[in-house]
Chain A
Amino acid sequence: MSPIQLTFLAVAAFSLVSALMVVTRPNMVHAALYLVVASFGVAALFVLLGAPYLAVIQVVVYIGAIAILMIIAIMLTRRIASEDLVVVNAQAGWAAVLAAILFFSLLIILGGWDSFGALAGELPPGSVDPAALGEALVSPQAFVIPFEVASVLLLAALIGAIVIAWRSSRAGG
């Protein structure tokens, strides 16, 4: 096995284990911190796939903004932040069976694909560098309408969240 495959397996296992910890920790802040670790693993996977720009964006947006927002929300709204949550409920058994069926059927489908064991090929140089992405974002033949719609979407998110948070605090939250 080539070093890249070994690295991929290590990073993927690392991400999967931390994702598992996210959903099984009873302490919510711990779960949020494991989410940070899982996001870091995903960023490492992006690097291995040859998309470094996406990797740094993953860290900047997910770890630097979203995870911090979530941790702030958790710490502010749990009266005692180390309260223990219920992690497993009554349907856990059925859920495990369903998940196992899904996993094995996916495995069988993918196993029938010829290139399952092949390494990812090299991307042609210059195809994912940020300059190409930037040009695609604003060129009229490519993605300029989604680009501008994204800004309107962000504006709507900002205004919506401000309205919800501010009114509830005015009402005495």
Chain B
Amino acid sequence: MTIWEDPIKFLNDWLAGILNAVVDFLNLPAGTTNFILNLIGVIIVATFGLLLVIFLTWLERKVAARFQDRFGPNRAGPYGIFQSFADMIKLITKEDITPTGADKISYNIAPLLSVASVILIWAVVPFTATWVGADINVGVLYIAAVGSFGILSVLMAGWSSNNKYALLGAFRAVAQLISYEVPLFLALLIPVLLARSMGINTIVEAQGTWFVVLAPLPFLIFLTSSIAEIGRTPFDLLEAESEIVAGFHIEYTGMKYGMFMAGEFLHAFTISVLTGILFFGGWQGPMVDTYPLLGVVYLMTKAFIVYFIVMWVRSTLPRVRIDHLMAFNWKFLVPLSLVMLIVTALLDKAFEAHSLHTWILLGANVVVALITVQILRVTGRRKEKELETFPKRPVAVPPKEEAPA
């Protein structure tokens, strides 16, 4: 095959040839070639992830600024593209202040764990049909597993800082993160159900019709839970500057703080990529069989569109209060995702080979959405009536003017 048709396989075979010759020459054990090729693959994917952060911080600031009707960074280089480098240099040269009484090991490991838990997701992302880091058959649960390390890092950061507010912030953050993991797992279950497999590449290949058409409501649930998982507005109580002064990472300075921030931006882009993969057909698109490179282009396009939507939501919606946050999750998202799971499972089995399969599932989603809106309307109206029947509070009335004595 030519280098255009499948660059990675071409490079892989070429490198394998060279390494095999070297291994035979030096008499190393047989699996070394494999190991070194895997190592190179890992380094490429990890570096790609980290370099993406540099681009993403610039993009985030520009887009958020445009939503706020201003320019954003435009001094450091044309259109401000060197702003991220400037930020990075600033953070690296800041002093690393460790608070007294901080627990040394946990304090230092927490930012590493936070970034590691995000980069590890990229190991299973399929860039195209054959370019996937590790094509494991439990990819979806692997992503869920890796997310739990991020939660642990928040807890470690908050506790090891020896600061009441960091600990309080960490607890609230953990409460939010674990609460929103429930609808996330349940919404992740629906593409698994529709594709009959947990392997991510299999889910992409099973999307004859994109899953966003077969299951739009789970797509919305997944997107909402993911935005809550990454701690973005409207769910960014985790780091709300005006509320709890940066929450669990109060006591972090310099590059450790930089790592938390980098992890957060990368996480936002990662869930956009995952949404693109699970619901929008991933690397599928015209002519992707002959030119696998196009698969990467399609996937990144879809990911950036979803990322733009995430940034749009961030710039538009106000922050949600913590009790509304929890009520929204446990009383709306979780029951809704359970209902959608039951409905999708029953309908998918009942009408498996039917010709109107797509329309039936889409119709069921629309029906559930309409019923939900109706229920919300009725309960909202009932709450309004409750509030109306409150006796009117007495209004302060100024004392009557007395006639001058």
Contact = CB atoms under 8 A, between A and B. Distances in A.
Indicate whether A and B are direct neighbours in the complex (CB within 8 Å).
yes
Interface of A: 3, 29-30, 33, 36, 52-53, 56-57, 59-60, 63-65, 67-68, 71-72, 75, 81-82, 129-131
Given A3-B29, A56-B145, A129-B137, A68 B152 contact: yes
Contacts, number: 65
B174 A72 contact: yes
A36 B152 contact: yes
A102 to B, nearest CB: 32
Interface string B127-147: 000000000111001101111
Interface residues of B, number: 29
B138 A56 contact: yes
B6 interface: no
Interface string B165-178: 00100010010001
A159 to B, nearest CB: 16
6 contacts: A36-B152, A52-B137, A56-B141, A60-B145, A64-B144, A68-B148
A57 B141 contact: yes
Contacts of B151: 64, 68
B137 A63 contact: no
B156 interface: yes
A31 B171 CA distance: 19
Given A30-B103, A131-B196, 20 more contacts: A3-B29, A29-B103, A29-B159, A33-B156, A52-B138, A53-B137, A53-B138, A56-B141, A56-B142, A59-B145, A60-B144, A60-B148, A64-B148, A64-B181, A65-B178, A68-B152, A68-B155, A72-B155, A75-B171, A130-B137
A56 B143 CA distance: 9
B106 A33 contact: yes
Contact of B152 (A3, A60, A67): A67
The 9 A-B residue pairs whose C-beta atoms are closest, nearest first, are A64-B148, A59-B145, A56-B141, A60-B145, A56-B145, A56-B138, A52-B138, A53-B138, A56-B142
Contacts of B159: 29, 71, 75, 81
B228 interface: no
A52 B136 contact: yes
Interface in B15-50: 29, 31
